[in-house]
């Protein structure tokens, strides 16, 4: 049970970080943006390949994968800059599926469905993160640093301008505010959270394959984000703990037939989304009053 508890906490930390980035990405466009998942795939494979092929430390691999992911993010936003609302969501969904399919088909790099399994937890120099307890400490330190930064950022003028922008962009422009500068900051933050979140996932499991990024991961992100929409960062982590416990409990303790457990989990979280949508958010639109 101790190992299971450690696993739940580490998983909750990973998905709390990923959900925070997903939430910021939605604030950037006020619509569901699936390109965030394409960035997650890109950052994860980049950090893993740097570690496997060039023996990069964990710290070095995340810094380089983040810098490369920034370029990938700008490419995505440039290609989709003229799309609005539902067309933007459909376009970024197509991009996500393309990234997923490339992970399957670029076998010489990603090893097809077999995945990458020679990843090492060499933190820096000769320091190894060899067990769950030490990895939990590393994850907690990263979570505290990230949530502290996000707390301070949300108190800043930058964040207030971003909030005002969604209310009335014309008023913000009349104040001679350079909106592109604030968009750039949001892009940096969201890409960093995507890179760090799945970097923690990659070095936790020491294995990634294309199926890691498919329906279950998307459902978890959307459910945690939707339920915790009005919560602060601690609320995101608490929601992530509850969702991950339910999700992993079904997988580890075989409540139903193991061959059908995956489908059962997707159905369960689909029901949760419907209940929350109708009961909690029935008078709001993404947290704003109609």
Which sequence spans correspond to the domains of the chain? 2-209
**pLDDT class of 74 with cuts at 50, 70, 90:** confident
Q: Which two tokens stand for residue 82?
A: 């003229």
Residue with tokens 């945690």: 224
pLDDT at 290: 42
Is 42 a residue whose pLDDT tops 80? yes
Q: Tell me the C-alpha distance between 210 and 214, whole Å.
A: 7
- Cα–Cα distance list, 221 to 19, 21, 114 (Å): 6, 10, 24
Question: Residue 270: its pLDDT value, please?
Answer: 64
What is the mean pLDDT of the segment spanning 125-146? Answer: 89
Predicted pLDDT of residue 153: 87
> Which stretch of DSSP H or E encloses residue 123?
strand 122-124
pLDDT for res 289: 44
pTM of the model: 0.83
> In terms of Cα–Cα distance, which of 13, 25, 11 is closest to 96?
25
pLDDT at 185: 77
In three-state secondary structure terms, 80 is coil
* pLDDT given for residue 260 in this prediction: 56
pLDDT at 184: 75
pLDDT grade for 240, boundaries at 50, 70 and 90: very high
Roughly what angle, to the nearest 10 degrees, separates helices 132-154 and 233-252? 150
| Residue 21 phi, psi (nearest 5) | -65, -40
Of the pLDDT bands very low, low, confident and very high (cuts 50, 70, 90), residue 136 is very high
Q: Under DSSP, is residue 156 helix (H, G, I), strand (E, B) or coil?
A: coil
- pLDDT value of residue 154: 85
């Amino acid at each position: 049970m101790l190992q299971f508890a450690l696993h739940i906490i580490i998983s909750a930390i990973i998905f709390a970080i990923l959900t925070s980035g997903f939430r910021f990405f939605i604030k950037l466009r006020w619509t569901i943006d699936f390109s965030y998942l394409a960035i997650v795939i890109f950052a994860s494979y980049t950090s893993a390949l740097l570690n496997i092929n060039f023996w990069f430390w964990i710290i070095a691999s995340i810094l380089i994968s983040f810098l490369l992911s920034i370029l990938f993010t700008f490419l995505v936003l440039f290609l989709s800059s003229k799309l609005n609302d539902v067309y933007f969501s459909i376009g970024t969904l197509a991009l996500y599926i393309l990234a997923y399919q490339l992970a399957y088909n670029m076998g010489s790099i990603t090893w097809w469905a077999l995945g990458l399994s020679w990843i090492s937890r060499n933190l820096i120099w000769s320091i190894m993160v060899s067990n769950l307890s030490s990895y939990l400490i590393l994850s907690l330190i990263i979570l505290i640093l990230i949530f502290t930064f996000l707390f301070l950022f949300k108190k800043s003028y930058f964040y207030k301008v971003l909030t005002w922008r969604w209310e009335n962009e014309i008023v913000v422009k009349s104040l001679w505010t350079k909106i592109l500068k604030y968009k750039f900051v949001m892009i940096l933050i969201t890409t960093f959270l995507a890179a760090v979140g799945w970097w923690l996932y990659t070095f936790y499991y020491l294995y990634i394959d294309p199926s890691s990024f498919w329906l279950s991961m998307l459902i978890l992100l959307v459910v945690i984000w939707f339920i915790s929409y009005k919560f602060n960062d601690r609320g995101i982590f608490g929601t992530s703990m509850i969702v991950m416990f339910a999700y992993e409990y079904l997988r580890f303790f075989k409540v139903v037939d193991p061959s059908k457990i995956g489908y059962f989990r997707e159905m369960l979280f689909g029901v949760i989304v419907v209940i929350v949508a109708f009961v909690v958010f029935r008078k709001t639109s993404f947290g704003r009053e109609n």
